[in-house]
Amino acid sequence: MKKLIIFILAAAIMVSIAACGSATKDSANPSSGSSDNGKDVLIGVSMPTQSLQRWNQDGANLKAQLEAKGYKVDLQYANNDVNTQIQQIENMILKGSKVLVIAAIDGSALTDVLKKAADNGIKVIAYDRLIMQSEHVDYYATFDNFKVGVIQGQYIEEKLGLKEGKGPYNIEIFAGSPDDNNATFFHNGAMSVLKPYIDNGQLVVVSGQKDFVTVAIQGWDSAKAQARMDNLITAYYADGTKLDAVLSPNDSLAIGIIASLKNAGYGTADKPYPILTGQDCDKPNVIAMINGQQSMSVFKDTRVLASKVVEMIEAITQGKEVPVNDTKTYHNGVKVVPSYLCDPVYVDVNNYKEILLDSGYYTEDDLKQ
């Protein structure tokens, strides 16, 4: 049985890499012959922050893969400050970038600077987060954000046996930053699975706080998530009411939630940690999974997303057809942005070795306590 599960997982990873990773194949194939074409072409890469592991990996993967193809890369991190990001993008335009790859801090704050990019004939790829309110977003490369939420919801559904009619269980709900378009997709995806159980009483949100605006955490900030969890525990669980599950949309929030639970004495036989979801498979969170503090995370292989974006850039700079696989989901308020959606997969303590170690994403040393 175990072997069968491992086989199915391995097959699923292969399929997901194949689904997103044809660029990886091309780059290994000398006959695709693009390695010289990038010479002297400058690509601007604007990342939101270095404070989260994933964006460092995204930036590093993009830079390495683009440079391997002969492109010049201007990689900047904006310290989660919107004005810094705008200035950095303006500089990239001045320096003569041909393509801009942007993971926006505030998805709706780039309308003016993207107009300048378009006036200069620069193509723009929104990276991971959709850029809103601009006609000058040419492509979007991301993971299937709704599916990320569905995977989190299904994990809770399965672990609590909700399909089998078990319950009632107590749950609290968190959502990501309201200025990040992804946050709504994650929330809606998870709630598409959980809401029927809330409606029929198998899940009880003891605080009653469940709509996106109420549960969103500005800036994906761990400390803010911790503060909200502290408040929830004090107000609704201090009397011994059992907390069975917490829906966290990503790992930075999960870190804050774990800190709060730990401070409140969770993690004992009498008061076990609730089921807790996450996303990104950041190192501290994988360690938390191994330690039984976090139940799962959604893995979005940044190598795969970077490969896809490199493939898009090659197509743009060579005047070829740009690969997309979704032309209806991501409306940015002005238009539907042609998108390429990669496939996310869930990781927990039972499969992290196959997915994260065997694939070379982490080494054993990375996950030392």
Residues in contact with ligand BGC by CB under 6 A are 52, 54, 128-129, 180, 182, 220, 250, 252, 279-280
Q: How far is the CB of 345 from ligand BGC (least distance, A)?
A: 14
Residue pair 299/345 in contact by the 8 Å Cβ criterion: yes
Evaluated on CA atoms 87, 78, 129, 187, the torsion sign reads negative
The residue at minimum Cβ distance from ligand BGC is: 250
Which one, 204 or 359, has the nearer CB to ligand BGC?
359
What string of H, E and C letters represents the secondary structure of 222-274?
HHHHHHHHHHHHHHHHCCCCCCCEEECCCHHHHHHHHHHHHHCCCCCCCCCCC
Q: How far is the CB of 150 from ligand BGC (least distance, A)?
A: 15
Which one, 124 or 162, has the nearer CB to ligand BGC?
124
The one-letter amino acid code at 124 reads V
Which one, 92 or 342, has the nearer CB to ligand BGC?
342
Determine the straight-line distance between the first and last CA of the chain, rounded to whole angstroms: 30
Q: How far is the CB of 197 from ligand BGC (least distance, A)?
A: 25
Which one, 92 or 225, has the nearer CB to ligand BGC?
225
The one-letter amino acid code at 130 reads L
Q: How far apart are CA 184 and CA 72, in angstroms?
A: 35
Which one, 16 or 250, has the nearer CB to ligand BGC?
250
DSSP category for residue 181: H
Helix (H, G, I), strand (E, B) or coil at 188: helix
How large is the C-alpha radius of gyration of the chain? 21
Q: How far is the CB of 249 from ligand BGC (least distance, A)?
A: 8
Q: How far is the CB of 36 from ligand BGC (least distance, A)?
A: 34
